[in-house]
Amino acid sequence: MDLPPSTAGAIVRFDDVSLRFGDTPGLDGVSFEMQAGETRVLFGAAGSGKTTLLKVALGLLEPDSGHVYLFGQDISHLKEQALFDLRARVGILFQEGGLFDSLNIEENVAYPLLNQRVLQAAGSGNGDAAKAPAKTVEERVQEALNFVELGQTLEKFPSELSGGMRRRVGIARAVVTTPALLLYDSPTAGLDPITANTIIALLLKEREMRNTATIMVTHRYLDGHLMANFRYNSSSGKMERAPNVAEESATVKFFVMNEGRLVFDGSEAELQDAQDPYVRKFLRHGSS
């Protein structure tokens, strides 16, 4: 089933989506929609359903009820094979990085590019398609690693890198195919504040360069605040407060999740004015 015409431009749309893991609610009646170029910052306590939402958006988990639309196509009950083409247009950074520890950094970042060719070759029945331009792959891998300032780590393995570096390689792998949608699952979790800000600077840099639609899961209020109010200055190579904060904030919306439900959906200003004790508690934690 395709997306209704009124929302045909939506990159992602959740329509009353619910999913349970036994007695535990994963998602409970979640509905939202996001357009190209928008950023969603998703807050919530551990186990509130943030990661589940990302996995459902990508078709890694199938909802019990409701509909999920990705690029206008209903993926709620699509078969795995049919999802591969859609997933090729999405980049994802997993909480643990999700890097393949048997592959070196170059192979990890090249994986989505090479895999897309393998799938194309399989689909067309043309084996040569999988052998085509290796140089382009190398160039794009180098470019993606340079983007996250890890251009010298090609031969290293994930186990040889620090947590922050692994996260940056994960970002490089997510952006190497220049996807139309980026999903970041707790990109700053477990990192020291300096490294965490470096990661956010990279996300801002990506937004500055490509303006990709993004959903970022985080438990740090500061991450969302930076996404809504800062931009990346390519000449200085640093984050700086956006000259027109109102314009920047307009494309950044905040979600708060609690026990699988979206309990808040709005701008940063609305978030700060929220009266819900759970939301406020969360806000205070982030602010403190």
Partner 1 sequence: MLDFLKAPVEEFQDFILLGFRATINIFRSPHYADDIFQQMDIIGVGSLPIVIMIGFVSGVIMAMQMGRALSQYGAQGEVAEFVSISLVRELGPLLTALLVAGRNSSGIASEIGSMKVTEQLDAMRALGTDPIQKLVTPRLIAAALMLPLLTIISDFIGLIGGWVVAHILLHIPGSYWTPAWQALVPNDLAQGLLKPLVFAIVIAMVGCFYGIRTTGGTQGVGKATTTAVVVADIWIFVLTAMIDRIFLYL
Q: Which residues contact 194 (CB under 8 A, 6 or more apart)?
A: none
Q: Which two tokens stand for residue 55?
A: 């996995």
Interface with partner 1 (CB under 8 A), residue from 16, 35, 100, 131:
100
At 179 the three-state DSSP class reads coil
Per CB under 8 A, contacts with partner 1 among 168-227 are 173
Smallest gap from residue 262 Cβ to partner 1 (A): 23
- Is 92 a binding residue for partner 1 by CB under 8 A? The answer is yes
DSSP string, 115-148: HHHHHHHHHHT-GGGGGS-HHHHHHHHHHHHHHT
Of 80 and 208, which CB lies nearer to partner 1 in the complex structure? 80
Interface with partner 1 (CB under 8 A), residue from 71, 111, 157, 278:
111
- Is 233 a binding residue for partner 1 by CB under 8 A? The answer is no
Do the Cβ atoms of 63 and 18 come closer than 8 Å? yes
Interface with partner 1 (CB under 8 A), residue from 82, 118, 132, 269:
118
SS (H, E, C) 220-255: CHHHHHHHHHEEEECCCCEEEECCCHHHHHHCEEEE
For residues 216 and 187, what is the distance between their CA atoms, to the nearest angstrom? 8
Q: Which two tokens stand for residue 128?
A: 């040569």
Letters for 22-61 (x = contact with partner 1 by CB under 8 A, - = none) are: ---------------------------------x--x-x-
Given the rule CB under 8 A, which of 97-105, 134-142, 199-207, 244-252 is the region that contacts partner 1? Answer: 97-105
Binding site for partner 1 (CB under 8 A): 55, 58, 60, 80-81, 84-85, 87-88, 90, 92, 94-101, 111-112, 115-116, 118-119, 121-122, 125, 130, 173
